[in-house]
Structure 1
């Protein structure tokens, strides 16, 4: 056909309409040819351009005539609008097809044709349509958008319910593992997105049609489907199988959503699935959780965690359950250990009356290793099953802090102070001492120490006991390694503060200063071959000078001690030295062997040393004379003398107790020991441990009072006036790094500060600072 007259609307439309039929797919077996496509494009172009040129070339045209170009666009646009309406209305469904199949087939062909149609009317789109829309005509659209709007009005709106229903039925069949044509679902859903065009901006897609007609129904159907399925599945299977089923279903739905759902729906789909599959059945998982813990089913616990993790609010109850379970299991383990220790003690007791278990009977290694075993067991679960989730780390820490400080051994009675810090200090001493057997400390190390240290509440108590044990290791030179000692102190400092380890650090400084002082001493004494004096700062070391140990130094030994005082006084003016005779030791060469045999080497206390030196002058003394020579209090003298008598270095006459001053004591001429080295210190009846424990407890209490006093005064000084409850609430958190203060202790310190006139009570249950 030849092209129509350019300015004839009817002729132009009659010319292009057959081509439009082919373009939009009325003849499904035939498509549009390139010649037909170009003829339609040219006819539309000529019509619009010819009208415009004629109007522009007529200089005498009226105002209405000058708008002929616009009228030409409106006319052909109107014809196209009516044509598209009729075209879509005339589309008929094949009886053998479902509506979804019909819809997808026709939509696919129609949208392809609409794209070509858009190009056919390209000139009208670019000029007339753009001009109309810029003038505010938002009901005018480019041809492709016009076609989609017509499809929505004439095809979708009246059939939306049927279409969505068939889409959802197909999705349900797929969920039931039936084979379906997923392409039908995908194309139909995507059509809803294309149909949701913005009124203001026709090129911008909107999800309003997709959300209103499909998404809401899809989510409701999904919720209903999985609610029914999960309830039925759980009634027939256990929780572990259900969790596996959940994983499978979630994976399927994620894959399905990636195939044909919009991103907007994916979030709400997961929320729906998580609600129906996980949150609604979280209680069943909690109930099974304890069983999985008891059976150590790490994989299943991890599976449960990963599912519940998808619903954050379901995690906290799981963490709480873990915390309570750890507490229960820990207390059971510690109680079993306590019973075993009591049974072992009972078996070793031969008397009819068996004493009640005391703290000294608690083996620090067994106790601490039991705590460590519990921690490591559940720490592994937290790492492997819960992926180091901070909530479960916190649950583990809370549980450990509880059972470390509250258990049958830590608190033998409700009102007793926690024993864990003291036992931990003794545990540390075992593996830090050089005289500990390797077989006994093979599984003891600094890492275990730091793990338990982190959980103890009374860190100041541990510091006091640890410092006392450290002091003994240092002055007795039986520390395994100075580097190891310093590394432990460094780790304690990192975990707490520099102030926390300041006294320990100063103790090492004193040891170094003592070495420097020794190098300056003049040692020409014939009797004393080696002398190792230690100068210790009284405020840093846990030793007290006792009058019970006032010792009479033998004349042979006065010179070395005087040299120490002179050397020290030359460096430090005004400082006073006090001798701690109860902490020194000596090695004495004793020529009490048979002829030709080497002399004995006795390890003795300072008091035993003075006893033996006295026998250099006389072989025999009365008990009273020897006591006057040695000095010290009577009970101390006797406790140090008894080992020498017991192991037959000194002969007593008559035998019996040491209550009579007329008893004679004679040194043997030949000592009968098979060992050349004999330690008389280790068998001294020692009453010091109990005394040291009392001193440590007293020191801890005093330090806490000072700490609380400092906190209260500091707060009052800055605030001037503070209410009682506010003061208590400010003080308590400040103590947590060292100990857990009790309210009653804070009240007592407040009363003391009132007595000392640091603060005073004022009206309104408040306190006022007194400058």
Structure 2
């Protein structure tokens, strides 16, 4: 392009001058590019033409030497470019139509090679026609012309119309073939795929708004077909792979395939497609084969294959609705495993104790003979095992935490030990309370409590449905520990009560808290009695006398006429002084002695000479028996009965340990007298006769169950009255459902019990029935 610039007003001369440069710019001369001089000459020629035509637009046919007045010149100025624009349009059509493949070249290779060079040239060409773009094209588009475009856009549209549209199907088929080869682990040139797909994005031009992104070409010609082919490919591959391999191998294959597709999508897919691709892969590879994973899940659980379970969870979590059946399967499996574990320990216990009898050392075991510790630790073993599964394999997904909680709630409250018959109450609260008692007793062996903890107690408590039953059993055992000074640690006791309160409510532990307050008040009273007895020389005080003043409504003890004990003369002065001091402080209150509770320590000089005396731990009844033997060595049973004052069967049960351990000689055949030994031959200096007393376990259980039932009736009554007072009128079913829901925090209320309480409140005129199965509150 060494010839002189053409005449600025001559269109044909200008185009003839520019066209050779455009050939170089667009690459028709091979790899030889345009020089900077050639580039500037083209730009200048087009600029000169547009400027000249703009100045003389109204007299475009006049010669360069023509003259015009100044007024005519001002009125004739207009933007030019239509003629050169049309020339460029026709040139691009001819240029694109003249592109041809090289020998041995695939269409994809040809397309990518020419597209790459053409788009580079179009960018440079756009700069060459910069003046036309900035003035004429912009003016035309602002005037509403949507068939006029900047040179770069015009080039892309011509490419789309005259090359892509005519060969789109062939191009996409070759791209998809390359992708399939890549999936088959064949080596392909991924840059060809990437460039071809990206060209579809560039060709998606919205002629109404050139700045608006438009993927219509990409979606129509590539995305839809790509997703269909992907689904077909992996449906075939997954079915064939599963027919030849197990589920674990398939899951590994899935992970690898998903990772490959994600990497591939990052290389050449638009973000719009990535989501649909993942949905397609998830459906074909995971959702359609989820049942196979479910079928293998139980086997993996049995083998405790945490890694494979985690792999299954991660795959299924890509399709969230497929997780629910997995969680349901986990819940069923936990329930089944718990039953197996409990049946195992039950069978082992029965084998060890075939007669079904319960020894004194195993007091607190139920009919099954399973000890509370073994039972609770079996439940904990199941919980901890599957809690680890939920944590490690399922990343503590709330869905699987819920499944674990549901399963635990089921097997803790309904299992062969807890509910041996459909009509019996759940025994887990009782066994948990006894487990706690063994943990908190000061007399428990350290080796027996080494693996027991507050956390263990609270884990099981969280799942216990009848929390009111646990509270009653726990409170009764706590009361015994307190009055017998048998607590391991007051701080530990109070910390557990605090944990129970946090888990439930302040009201739940109110009685237990009051029990500790009573113990502290009793200490103050004891000190007052001791101080007054110390200043009164006429009264011989009992050494270490510790009276316990207990609030009747807070403590689970009731007065029994079977224990209407006659106080020994040696003790009367101290007890009378206590009552005097108490009534002085609390005028009008009544004291009722519970002789069936508490214990005493007695020093017995029944050993050989030169040896220290024995220290006996005895009940209050046993204390009166021994004090009677201070007066003489032999009594008939009737004489002891008259002296002690308790019921006949009560005296017999408290005498039995003395005769059993040969402190008192039992009457022989035809005899009726009891004689205390002169010399006791126990190898131990400390002897506990209390632990051998035959207690009325059945009666205690009945009392506990009666107390629980009464408390529940009162609670349900309060719930119904509270609800009806607010609502005034309610349908029967609504009232029953509301009451049952409110009661859940304490126990699972039976519908029949709620109905009975409603009938009771109707009789008491708190409620009345009105029409349509409705109740009305009566103020």
Q: 1:565 maps to which residue?
A: 579
Secondary structure (helix, strand or coil) at the match of 2:448 reads coil
Q: 1:768 maps to which residue?
A: 776
Secondary structure (helix, strand or coil) at the match of 1:543 reads coil
Provide TM-score, normalisation by structure 1: 0.95
Q: 1:315 maps to which residue?
A: 323
Q: Aligned pair in 2 of structure 1 residues 653, 283: CA closer, same or farther (>3 Å)?
A: closer
Q: Aligned pair in 2 of structure 1 residues 508, 656: CA closer, same or farther (>3 Å)?
A: farther
Distance in 1 (alpha carbons) for counterparts of 2:128 and 2:763: 102
Distance in 2 (alpha carbons) for counterparts of 1:516 and 1:360: 45
Aligned counterpart in structure 2 of residue 40 of structure 1, from 31, 39, 42: 42
Runs of 4+ in 1 over 6 A off after TM superposition: 347-350
Query: CA offset at residue 9 of structure 1?
Result: 1.7
Secondary structure (helix, strand or coil) at the match of 2:272 reads helix
Distance in 1 (alpha carbons) for counterparts of 2:661 and 2:759: 56
Aligned counterpart in structure 2 of residue 297 of structure 1, from 302, 305, 321: 305
Distance in 2 (alpha carbons) for counterparts of 1:55 and 1:158: 39
Q: 2:689 maps to which residue?
A: 680
Q: 1:517 maps to which residue?
A: 525
Secondary structure (helix, strand or coil) at the match of 1:346 reads coil
Aligned counterpart in structure 1 of residue 665 of structure 2, from 646, 651, 667: 651
Query: CA offset at residue 607 of structure 1?
Result: 1.0
Query: CA offset at residue 376 of structure 1?
Result: 1.1
Query: 2:614 aligned with 1:600, yes or no?
Result: yes
Secondary structure (helix, strand or coil) at the match of 2:418 reads coil
With 633-642 and 456-465 compared, the bigger mean Cα shift is at 633-642
Query: CA offset at residue 339 of structure 1?
Result: 1.3
Query: CA offset at residue 93 of structure 1?
Result: 1.7
Secondary structure (helix, strand or coil) at the match of 1:302 reads helix
Aligned counterpart in structure 2 of residue 437 of structure 1, from 437, 445, 470: 445
With 643-652 and 317-326 compared, the bigger mean Cα shift is at 643-652
Q: Aligned pair in 2 of structure 1 residues 249, 517: CA closer, same or farther (>3 Å)?
A: same
Q: 1:218 maps to which residue?
A: 226
Q: Aligned pair in 2 of structure 1 residues 360, 563: CA closer, same or farther (>3 Å)?
A: farther
Distance in 1 (alpha carbons) for counterparts of 2:346 and 2:69: 115
Query: CA offset at residue 54 of structure 1?
Result: 4.2
With 431-440 and 568-577 compared, the bigger mean Cα shift is at 568-577
Query: CA offset at residue 349 of structure 1?
Result: 7.0
Matches within 5 A, 1:247-396: 247-346=255-354, 358-359=366-367, 361-396=369-404
Distance in 2 (alpha carbons) for counterparts of 1:138 and 1:477: 98
Query: 2:470 aligned with 1:462, yes or no?
Result: yes
Secondary structure (helix, strand or coil) at the match of 2:354 reads helix
Q: 2:65 maps to which residue?
A: none
Query: CA offset at residue 62 of structure 1?
Result: 9.0
Query: CA offset at residue 597 of structure 1?
Result: 2.5
Query: CA offset at residue 11 of structure 1?
Result: 1.7
Per-residue CA deviation, residues 412-456 of structure 1 (Å, 9 max, x unaligned), is: 111100111101111111111111112222222111111111111
Query: 2:80 aligned with 1:66, yes or no?
Result: no
Q: 2:139 maps to which residue?
A: 131
Distance in 2 (alpha carbons) for counterparts of 1:698 and 1:681: 26
Distance in 2 (alpha carbons) for counterparts of 1:552 and 1:217: 101
Per-residue CA deviation, residues 449-506 of structure 1 (Å, 9 max, x unaligned), is: 1111111111111111011111111111111111111121111111111111111111
Q: 1:660 maps to which residue?
A: none
With 172-181 and 199-208 compared, the bigger mean Cα shift is at 199-208
Q: Residues 587 and 603 of structure 1 are in contact (CA less than 8 Å); yes or no, is this contact kept in structure 2?
A: yes
Matches within 5 A, 1:35-184: 35-54=37-56, 59-61=70-72, 66=76, 69-70=78-79, 72-184=80-192
Q: 1:230 maps to which residue?
A: 238
Distance in 2 (alpha carbons) for counterparts of 1:296 and 1:678: 51
Distance in 2 (alpha carbons) for counterparts of 1:652 and 1:223: 93
Aligned counterpart in structure 2 of residue 614 of structure 1, from 628, 633, 646: 628
Per-residue CA deviation, residues 529-583 of structure 1 (Å, 9 max, x unaligned), is: 1111111111111111112111111122112112222222232232211111111
Q: Residues 287 and 319 of structure 2 are in contact (CA less than 8 Å); yes or no, is this contact kept in structure 1?
A: yes
With 581-590 and 640-649 compared, the bigger mean Cα shift is at 640-649
Q: 1:639 maps to which residue?
A: 653
Query: CA offset at residue 348 of structure 1?
Result: 8.1
Distance in 1 (alpha carbons) for counterparts of 2:729 and 2:401: 41
With 644-653 and 236-245 compared, the bigger mean Cα shift is at 644-653
Query: 2:541 aligned with 1:531, yes or no?
Result: no
Q: Residues 55 and 61 of structure 1 are in contact (CA less than 8 Å); yes or no, is this contact kept in structure 2?
A: no
Per-residue CA deviation, residues 167-187 of structure 1 (Å, 9 max, x unaligned), is: 000000010111111110000
Secondary structure (helix, strand or coil) at the match of 1:589 reads strand
Matches within 5 A, 1:714-725: 714-725=722-733
Aligned counterpart in structure 2 of residue 244 of structure 1, from 252, 256, 270: 252
Distance in 2 (alpha carbons) for counterparts of 1:99 and 1:297: 51
Query: CA offset at residue 691 of structure 1?
Result: 1.5
With 715-724 and 618-627 compared, the bigger mean Cα shift is at 618-627
Distance in 1 (alpha carbons) for counterparts of 2:27 and 2:670: 128
Q: 2:422 maps to which residue?
A: 414
Q: 1:580 maps to which residue?
A: 594
Q: 2:568 maps to which residue?
A: 554
Q: Residues 194 and 205 of structure 1 are in contact (CA less than 8 Å); yes or no, is this contact kept in structure 2?
A: no
Q: 1:626 maps to which residue?
A: 640
RMSD: 1.8
Q: Residues 621 and 651 of structure 2 are in contact (CA less than 8 Å); yes or no, is this contact kept in structure 1?
A: yes
Per-residue CA deviation, residues 375-406 of structure 1 (Å, 9 max, x unaligned), is: 11111111111111111111111111111111
Q: Aligned pair in 2 of structure 1 residues 88, 58: CA closer, same or farther (>3 Å)?
A: farther
Secondary structure (helix, strand or coil) at the match of 2:149 reads coil
Per-residue CA deviation, residues 582-624 of structure 1 (Å, 9 max, x unaligned), is: 1121111222233332222211111111122122233333322
With 673-682 and 206-215 compared, the bigger mean Cα shift is at 673-682
Q: 1:589 maps to which residue?
A: 603
Q: Residues 600 and 619 of structure 2 are in contact (CA less than 8 Å); yes or no, is this contact kept in structure 1?
A: yes
Query: CA offset at residue 704 of structure 1?
Result: 0.7
Q: Aligned pair in 2 of structure 1 residues 650, 349: CA closer, same or farther (>3 Å)?
A: closer
Q: Residues 533 and 541 of structure 2 are in contact (CA less than 8 Å); yes or no, is this contact kept in structure 1?
A: no
With 435-444 and 563-572 compared, the bigger mean Cα shift is at 563-572
Per-residue CA deviation, residues 308-344 of structure 1 (Å, 9 max, x unaligned), is: 1111111000110111111111111111211111111
Query: 2:698 aligned with 1:690, yes or no?
Result: yes
With 144-153 and 630-639 compared, the bigger mean Cα shift is at 630-639
Secondary structure (helix, strand or coil) at the match of 2:446 reads coil
Secondary structure (helix, strand or coil) at the match of 1:279 reads helix
Distance in 2 (alpha carbons) for counterparts of 1:477 and 1:653: 35
Query: 2:18 aligned with 1:7, yes or no?
Result: no
Count the aligned residue pairs: 756
Per-residue CA deviation, residues 709-760 of structure 1 (Å, 9 max, x unaligned), is: 1111111111111011111111111111111111111111111011111000
Secondary structure (helix, strand or coil) at the match of 1:439 reads helix
Matches within 5 A, 1:484-495: 484-495=492-503
Distance in 2 (alpha carbons) for counterparts of 1:759 and 1:725: 15
Distance in 1 (alpha carbons) for counterparts of 2:663 and 2:704: 36
Q: 1:671 maps to which residue?
A: 680
Distance in 2 (alpha carbons) for counterparts of 1:554 and 1:736: 50
Q: Residues 550 and 632 of structure 1 are in contact (CA less than 8 Å); yes or no, is this contact kept in structure 2?
A: yes
Per-residue CA deviation, residues 38-58 of structure 1 (Å, 9 max, x unaligned), is: 011111111112233346985
Distance in 2 (alpha carbons) for counterparts of 1:58 and 1:701: 118
Query: CA offset at residue 128 of structure 1?
Result: 1.1
Distance in 2 (alpha carbons) for counterparts of 1:199 and 1:279: 41
Distance in 2 (alpha carbons) for counterparts of 1:108 and 1:58: 51
Distance in 2 (alpha carbons) for counterparts of 1:336 and 1:648: 41
Q: Aligned pair in 2 of structure 1 residues 647, 236: CA closer, same or farther (>3 Å)?
A: closer
Distance in 2 (alpha carbons) for counterparts of 1:582 and 1:243: 68
Secondary structure (helix, strand or coil) at the match of 1:760 reads strand
